[in-house]
Structure 1
């Protein structure tokens, strides 16, 4: 399902040498429940360059924005007696998960659910937004086109969805094409923690692709491969054969010591740039529990620390963009003279 919208001219996207881009992580998810139109609209108001939807599939083949296909933590599905019998257990990327899964619901059924704040103790203010619904990817793209910002979708568990007969790739590209976005110059990055998913997309689209990498583990579709092995100069050169950039966990750029304090930056940004890749680390959050020890304010994990200083660390390290739950802070940081 795609919205009826006449494509507008594509908004320009800064190149690697221009101002770093701000990617609103699941929208302005520090201020609104993640992956809701309210979160995306708030991020656009705050000046984000891109809004980021994680994409999963309904049983009738429609892409919707949820962090995971298991939705008990981000909707009121567990409170809905008519769906009680759909609670089940699935093996997702080798991990057993129990709950309610988008692939067991039609879009019409999912649209009856209400979104919920995933971290209510950490972000109690977000619980006031109790009437938001699950948006389709088409609705997210239409919102972005309306306001002249880009989209940065992540394909969630693409091998799993392909294995159950609900492949994500073609459906995602169709939504983007329906809204006029097909070219490398268009304001779109497509990201994935998997490798074969991105290589498949490389043969299907000219849109830019980003290989996500975590500080531990490896791609779910490549058992035995560690993300660390992909971040050597040779590994980065291989990534550059199918992707335009990497999205590293932020401690791969600025690591921390055993006490949680920041250490000097690694060579990752320089090595990625040498391979022709842009670097968009994740995820910048204001709460103490996510900040390095020297930038925390007080003892409470939910209290806000000195996020601006952490953002400045990474900008000084030469990153090309930032994923942030608080896009306003990131927008302010990237606009500071350096």
Structure 2
């Protein structure tokens, strides 16, 4: 039998637990802590004026602040499962002044944060749960020939639009990736790139979020917000839910949370979304049109860029390779696209830093394709930032580890 004091303590604990479950905990805006990576990159730079200036800043500066130049790409996805509460907090802690929630919808048309409507099989634990039965394409193991050579890679496809919001919220985020040689689900889920980490992907982390929850968290963290409306994997309208209703619902959730338009940068790769915001909402003044070019040859012309501006679009966001090239001496310099965008009066945001692994081994892929010949060492990332900031004149850069551009912005103003 409990004593009255013990009974009161037990009741108090129960009430406290229920309250914690009923309402999300508040978050005190964290002190910016850049960690060792930016300083490692500076020390690895070739000798020169930029290295000297950044080293002097590192030696003299006692504190750092969040900066809008640093945009948390899916949070802090270099080390934390993307689009999770933990990833968003890490982004703010590492200096991001703006944080991204990619927006998709569930079966009951609720907005949630995922990079794509059909990526649950690589970004969450769904395949290891009973909800795997709802995947549009169940897990299929890899097949091999008699010599052990891969014939068909392992595969699966799981969509938010197959789940209710309540079902979605039972999942946990994991580091994005999969093992194409997997013979079972456990092997399939163990596909994190070697230059990332699974340290922050445990069973008590990886908290998935609704779009509305991300807004409240970002308000508490004191960061601005850049939601990306993802083009659906399902045909629209979806059960009567039109593309315009989808775009409007995104904006409505900022209105409901009383977030002023100046703190929001809605973005989309789908031009009609951006046009809708520009024509119908105050949030369209800072709407960002994302460029999905795969190569330099795919980039829009000067006339097309001028056309965006004429439509009321003020910000474009191409991949980094679109903005840089090399000169005859092998130096990184602004590209023709960069000059054309500026001439059209467009502001520029670019993507994505800290997403290519080790740089010194060459062959750095998509983001570096137009200037990879100039990349010799990890520290050259700071040179890339410097050219983008001072010569191209970008207003911000998405990064999987916001501490890197936050350090540069704090030191170089």
Q: 1:124 to 1:35 in 2, by over 3 A?
A: same
1:318 equivalent in structure 2: 393
**Contact persistence 1:295–1:309 (CA under 8 A):** no
Query: Of residues 190, 197, 220 in structure 2, which corresponds to 1:125?
Result: 197
Aligned structure 1 segments of 4 or more residues deviating by more than 6 angstroms: none
Q: How far apart in 1 are the matches of 2:306 and 2:233?
A: 24
The alignment yields a C-alpha RMSD, in angstroms, of: 2.9
Q: How far apart in 2 are the matches of 1:321 and 1:121?
A: 26
1:252 aligned to 2:301?
A: no
1:31 equivalent in structure 2: 79
Q: 1:177 to 1:162 in 2, by over 3 A?
A: farther
Which runs of structure 2 are paired with 1:6-25 in the superposition (5 Å)? 21-25=69-73
Which runs of structure 2 are paired with 1:148-187 in the superposition (5 Å)? 148-158=222-232, 160=234, 162-165=236-239, 166=241, 167=243, 168-183=246-261, 186-187=262-263
Which runs of structure 2 are paired with 1:271-290 in the superposition (5 Å)? 271-285=340-354, 287-288=357-358, 289=364
Q: 1:41 to 1:293 in 2, by over 3 A?
A: farther
**Contact persistence 1:47–1:327 (CA under 8 A):** yes
1:93 equivalent in structure 2: none
2:313 equivalent in structure 1: 243
Q: How far apart in 2 are the matches of 1:139 and 1:268?
A: 37
1:144 equivalent in structure 2: 218
Deviation at 1:145, TM superposition (A): 1.0
Matched residue count: 296
1:116 aligned to 2:174?
A: yes
Q: Which runs of 5+ in 1 are unaligned?
A: 5-18, 91-96, 219-225, 298-303
Q: 1:180 to 1:331 in 2, by over 3 A?
A: same
Q: 1:205 to 1:161 in 2, by over 3 A?
A: farther
Deviation at 1:126, TM superposition (A): 3.4
**Contact persistence 2:325–2:332 (CA under 8 A):** yes
Q: How far apart in 1 are the matches of 2:386 and 2:86?
A: 28
Q: Which runs of 5+ in 2 are unaligned?
A: 1-22, 25-66, 139-154, 178-191, 359-363
Deviation at 1:75, TM superposition (A): 0.4
**Contact persistence 2:315–2:346 (CA under 8 A):** yes
Asked which structure has the greater CA Rg, the reply is 2
1:16 equivalent in structure 2: none
Q: How far apart in 2 are the matches of 1:159 and 1:115?
A: 20
Give the structure-2-normalised TM-score. Answer: 0.65
Q: 1:122 to 1:262 in 2, by over 3 A?
A: farther
More helix by share: 2
Q: How far apart in 2 are the matches of 1:49 and 1:293?
A: 31
